[in-house]
Structure formats: structure tokens, C-alpha cells
Structure 1
Amino acid sequence: MELDTVFPRPAPASFQEADALFEEGKSLYDNLDPEAASGKFLEAVEAYQKYPAELKPAKLAKTFIFLGAAQLLNGEPETAKRSFLRAISTYPAIQPDSDLFGADVQTAFTDMQQEFSRQPPGTLLVDSTPRGARVTVDGKEVGVTPLPELKLHAGRHPVVISRPGYQPVIEYPQLSASKAVELKPQLVLRPEMAAVLDAVARASSEQGFDAATLPPEVATLGERLGARYVVLAAVSEKKGRVGAEVQVWDVQTKGRLRGVRLDARSRKPSDSVEGAVDRIHGFLVGGPLTASPAGTPSASALIKKPWFWAAVVGGAAVVTGGILYATQADKGRPGGVISGFPGLGF
């Protein structure tokens, strides 16, 4: 299970309003009313830029071309050139349609293309707290934070920084040639995610870990995240030696596996990573890993899973495969949540 299914992204935006404004402007332009057309195109630009995550740069650039053409027709050549430059910076591959625009528009646009080509790129650096957030620039997903330097053409770029369970951050940095702009927002938890983290903290507390019956927080986590099994890991460190005790709750039957210990330095097979994997696997599927039929993943394969290392290291709760892994680094300190994919921790 991915946290995107628990905290889904907002429904795709509708550009119906923006499209309608563009068509109104185009109709006014065709009827030789450039001043009114310019107003509608400017409104269309604002409407398109309301939803940068779904924005299609080519559509916005086309609007800028029509805006520049209307401004040129209205006797505003310098303003028109700026609109053409915005069209090119929004979508460098854009070209004015020769069937729609005359030589004056083509010439002014070509001049701006040449000016644009002479400009060195700017640099955008994107990070976030917490890290692992998806980054969308100009409507295209470019990676997760922290991002290396992005070389982008000079101009204004819509940037969306989002992560399941957090409010998305929308920025419109203005990049200048040969200069760097850094974005490093503090992401704010959505109320639903805050409630999950609160439940994780209580479930992985000493009281929750030692409960004789299914703790209500564990039941809530299983229900909220759609997980049948909840794995709690209490991690401790003494004299540089890290160990963990793991227990697994079956939310449906309210049964529990407890007393699974992990100690990389112990010589007892039951305390080894492989021994812990074998016991947990047996509880989940009803039989020991070593007795599973051919084709079942080996212990060495299972311990490479992000959820298992989260249980060993502590400080995380992982949702994957219908199982929630909640851990604590120290007694009384809350854990976090990660999605089971490297770099996307919560």
C-alpha cells in the first residue's frame, strides 16, 4: 500500500474557466478588438496559473502569443515583446501559427527568440523539510527533494512541492540568467496525517508496547491505513550496541506475536535478523519461512525490504503490503511514517 492511496492527491483541476476566457479573447481578437482581447487573455493566464501541478506549458505559451499579438495590434510593441518572451520562456518550442498571425507578429516573435537564446540559464535548487517530497516544475515531475541543481531558462516557473499527508507548496520563482534561486519550504501536515502520527506515537509508546490486549491506537491505525497487521518495534541502544524487540498484532483476530528480538551481535539464532524474519513471516502466513514452498523469498531477500530495516533501525512506521510497521527510537519518543520507498520517508 502506498500512502498516496491513504492521502490521495487532490482531484485534477479543471481548466474550463481558463479555456473559456481564452476563447473569448480569441473571438475579440478575430473581431479586431485588441484592447478587450488583451484583457481576456490576461484573465486566461491568471486562470491557467491557478493550478500549476496540472498546467500544460504549451497551452499557457499559446495564450501569451495571442496576448502579445493583441498588444501589438493595439500599438504596444514593447509590451507585446515581453509577452512573446514569456511565451518562449514558458515553452521554448512554441511557434506562432503562420495561418493565424501576420508578418509583424512573426518578426517580433523571432526577435524575442534570438534574445532568449542569448540568455544563459538560471539555477533552481529545491529542498524541503521533511525531505522526499515530489517536485513538479512547469507541469513536469522532476524528482524528489533534495534536488540537485536544475538548469532552467530565465523566467517565471510554477513549482509544486508535494508529499502524501502534507499540504502542497506552490511557488512561482523568477529565475534570472546565471543566477540561483533556492526553495526550501517547511511542509505542513494535513490534519489526517497528524492524527496518524499521533496514533503511531501512542501505539509505539512503552504503555502501548506492553499492553495486554489490542491497543485502540493499533486498531485505529490498522483501520485508517487499511492494514491487517501492525508491527511494533522497540529499539534500544546500550554502549553502542543496537537491539530491538518486535511484536506483531493481527488487527482482525486480535492475536499477537511478541518476544521477537533482534541483536546483530548475538550468537543465538533466534536473535539474528534471519531468525526474526522467520518468526514474523510464520505469524503472517501461518508457517515458517524455511518450510515455505519453492519460490518463496528467502530471508536474505526479505531483510532487504525497506520495512524490515525500518523495524531494525527504528523511528519509522511503514505501510506496505497491507502491513503497518510502527517503531520508536527510544521509549517515549514518537516514530514517523514512511511509504516503503527509499527517499519518501515521513
Structure 2
Amino acid sequence: MRALVLALLPSLALAASPNSARRASSLLIPMDQASEATSVQMEGHMNEALANFSGFSVRKAEDLFGLPGDPTAQSALERARKGYSESAAAFDKKEYDDAESKVRATLKELQGAPAAMRGCSPLCESLALYAALLHLRGDVEEAKLVLIDLIAVSPTFELNPKRFSRDFIALRVQVATGRTSQLRGSATVKSRPAGARVYVDGDLVGHTPVTVPTLTVGKHLLRVERPGFRQYGQLMEVTPDDVEVSTELVPTAAYKAYDAQLDRVASEVSRAIPQANGASAMGKSLGLDRAMVGTVKTASSGEGSELILGYYDLRNGKKLAGRRMVLQGDEFGQLKSEMERIVNQLINVSEGGTEKVVRSSDPLDNRGGTEDWGAEDRGGRTRAQEKKKKPGDDPLEGVSGTEDW
């Protein structure tokens, strides 16, 4: 299955009514599995570049495809919340056997709830309650194991002194400063398709495939999400040994229908034809007016990515501008500036400007490194400033001094 990544582009070439903004987006279609995650990274950089433009309606991947939750996980979370409330009430009444029975059932429900969880509640509260019950009946070592999981999920979780005894709170401090709680492990998270966002204990840690180092041993909340696919989650057990989690994300029916159009669109982009009827049909199905459509794949040299982009008016399929280039990766953080320059160049070309000829795959070949400092038109601001200039204005206003280097 082909995956795609969305970044948003403005519609600038055609006039629009003062109160309307054109709906636009950019579609990067990975042509091999290795490019799935790279295309997501490009999307992020392009979105940042597009913040410089006005007059368009941003349509992110979430807007087009949504982030559907897991109904089963949501139901499990609702039952767990109810179960914790009942177990806490029994604990406060000192009905410890009933409280333990209920909190055990709650923890079992929570095993299937991580896809719907955005924080550690009610997991943290349930773990604390269960550990306290084990401590009360004298199972101190078992209580310590549960506290290790609690500390792993939320190191700063505070125990309520009105509910829990001083001895139990002291045990929690002892566990937190003990040798076991100082142990660390790593977790590698993969998904199909790649490029999904990964959250551990509520924090974004990267996109699949990603390795998260130095995690505290114990249980952690894992959530994986990608627009157009059902969210996935699990309670991940981290040990001193490396842990790997792999998941096949489930696409929605709407995404499947959309995915079926990508082969035709990718073919049009690769052949660089001036009229792309497939892209036009795709734009209509998504409710878009303009789009920058591209394919990305591993370069033939095995290093870097080959990117082909076309900027289209999706109402009629007309190609407004295009580029083909090889990007050398992001080892030194250069991908962000490369994507910003590409976005600006294509939009400028569609507006009647000129495009610089790149004769080499090396983006630095025949370049002094200062060409774009003052000359690059970010967000169309240079054109807007030029229109506002009047005879007699300061000729050096808005000039950086590097334009002619």
C-alpha cells in the first residue's frame, strides 16, 4: 500500500474573493518503503515554509483523513474509569477485598485502553491503589514491582497522603531511589506504513521507525497514530534488554478509496505531463483547489532521495510548475532549508518568475552559499513590498546587502 504525506501550499496565482481562501495541499507519494518516513519529515518542513504565505486554507493530513480512534480501546477506557472509581470508594471504606477485586479488573481493562489514552489517568491511580493494597496485606515485594511500573509511567505522580499511609508513601520513595528504578532500556517502534507519530507516556518521541533510548524499566504507555489509519496503543514493558514493537496500522475505508488513486497520480507526476487528469480527479474527491503533488524514492546511488514535484491547479489538472532533484538527506539539518527553497521556487515560477537551473545532483555545486539570503522570496513578501514602493522611497529599504554577492 502506498502511503502519502501532506503539507499545505497556498493558492496564489489566481485571484480570489477578498473573504475566501483557496483550499490547497501538497501530496508526497512514497515510491518505496524506505521513503515513507522521509516523506513525513519533508511534510513538516514544508508546512513551516508555508506559514510564510497567506491567502490559502491549510488542509493538513488530519483534516483530509482524520485520526480515527479505536472504539474497542475507548470502551475499555470507559469501563476502567468506572472500575477505578468503584475500587477507590471501596478502599476508602476499608473494604479491601472488594477494592482489590475491582482494581484488578480495572487494570485488566486498561491493558486494552492505551490507544484511547492521552495521559496516565486512570492507570496511575489504579497502580497506586493496587500497590497500596498489596502493601496492606504484607506483600511488600509485590507492591514494589507495581510501584516500579507506576514510576516508569509517571515519575512525578504524587500519592495522596489523605488516602495512603505514611509507610506506603515511604515505600514509594524507597523504590524510586532504588537500584531497579535506575535501570534503563530502549524501545524500537515500527509500523506499516512507516512515518506514524509515536507517543510514549503522552510525549511525542518521533516517527516510525524510531528507537527511544534510556527509558526507565517498567510499563510505558505507547500510542501510534497516522492520519487515515486507526490509532494503535499498548502498555509496553521496557526491560534492560532492547524491546521492539511492530504494528500494521488499519486504514479507514475513505483512505483505501483514496489510496486506489495514487498509482495513476504518481504516473502523471513521473512523466511530467502538462495536464494531469488523475490529479484533478483526486483533488475533487478531497475538495482541493490547488496542490503540489510529488513522488519520493531512494536515489539510484542508494544515498539520499529523488524528489519529483509538480504544482497543479486541480480544478483543471493544469501543471503550473515542476522540479526534479536529488536531496542528500538530513545529516547536517539541511533538509529543512532545502524544502523551504523548493516551495518558494515553485510558487514563484507559477507566478511568472524564473527557476534556477540545477545541473548537478549536488545542491551546493556552483553555489557560493549566499545566493538565497536576500533574494529568496519567502511567502511572496518581496513581491508585496515591491508593489508598495513609491518614487522617492529609500532605495536601500528592505535590502540585506547580500543580493549581489
1:281 is matched with which residue? 350
Deviation at 1:45, TM superposition (A): 2.6
**Is this contact kept in 1: 2:185–2:238, CA < 8 A?**
yes
1:168-216 Cα offsets, whole Å, 9 max, x none, are 3334332113x2112344445433223222212124446998999984x
Q: 1:244 to 1:81 in 2, by over 3 A?
A: closer
Please name the residue that 2:113 is paired with. Answer: 51
% identity of equivalent residues: 22
Q: Tell me, what secondary structure is at the counterpart of 1:166?
A: coil
What's the Cα RMSD here? 4.2
In structure 2, what is the equivalent of residue 161 of structure 1? Answer: 224
In structure 2, distance between residues paired with 1:42 and 1:83? 12
**Aligned pair 1:2/2:2, yes or no?**
no
Q: 1:244 to 1:93 in 2, by over 3 A?
A: closer
For 2:128 and 2:307, how far apart are their aligned partners in 1?
64
Residue aligning to 2:262 = 200
Ranges in structure 2 where 5+ consecutive residues have no aligned partner = 1-58, 326-341, 355-373, 380-405
Cα distance in 1 between the residues matched to 2:128 and 2:269: 65
Identify which of 207, 210, 221 aligns with 2:282. 221
Structure 1: give runs of 5+ residues left out of the alignment.
Answer: 265-272, 283-287, 291-297, 304-346
Cα deviation digits, residues 225-252 of structure 1 (max 9, x gap): 22113566799xxx99x9979583442x
| Structure 1 residue 120 displacement after superposition | 1.7
Question: What letter corresponds to residue 86 of structure 2 in structure 1?
Answer: E
For residue 209 of structure 2, what is the aligned residue in structure 1? 146
- Flag the 1:213–1:141 CA change in 2: closer, same or farther, 3 A: closer
CA contact (8 A) 1:277 1:299 kept: no
Runs of 4+ more than 6 Å apart: 206-214, 232-235, 242-245
* Aligned equivalents of 2:85, 2:307: Cα separation in 1: 66
1:37 Cα deviation from its structure 2 partner:
0.1
Which residue identity lines up with residue 183 of structure 1 in the other structure?
Answer: V
Deviation readout 1:58-87 (Å, 9 max, x if unpaired): 642222111122233345444333323322
Q: TM-score if structure 1 supplies the norm length? A: 0.63
Structure 1 pair 101–228 and aligned structure 2 pair: CA distance change class (3 A): same
| Contact 1:52-1:138 at 8 Å conserved across structures | no
Q: Is the 8 A contact 2:196 2:207 kept in 1?
A: yes
Q: Deviations over 1:16-73 (max 9, x none)?
A: 4333221211111122211110121122333444332424226422221111222333
Maintained 8 Å contact 2:186/2:214: yes
| Structure with greater contact order relative to length (CA < 8 Å, sep ≥ 6) | 2
Distance 2:169 2:307 in 1: 71
Q: Which moved more, 1:134-143 or 1:163-172?
A: 163-172
CA distance in 2, matches of 1:77, 1:277: 66
Alignment partners' CA distance in 1, 2:319 and 2:189: 43
TM-score, normalisation: structure 2: 0.55
Count of residue correspondences: 274
Matched, 1:64 2:133: no
The 1:42/1:139 distance shift into structure 2, 3 A limit, reads farther
1:155 shift after superposition: 0.8
Write the letter of the residue equivalent to 2:312. V
What is the distance in 1 between the residues matched to 2:192 and 2:263? 20
- TM-superposed CA distance for 1:137, in Å, is 0.8
* Structure 2 SS opposite 1:194: helix
Q: Which residue of 2 aligns with 1:183?
A: 245
**Match for residue 295 of structure 1?**
none
2:164 pairs with one of 98, 101, 124: 101
Q: How many angstroms apart in 2 are the aligned matches of 1:263 and 1:9?
A: 32
Provide the C-alpha distance between the structure 2 equivalents of 1:280 and 1:167, rounded to a whole number of angstroms: 39
Give the Cα separation in 2 of the matches to 1:111 and 1:18. Answer: 29
Cα distance in 2 for residues equivalent to 1:171 and 1:76: 27
2:185 and 2:295 mapped to 1: Cα distance?
47
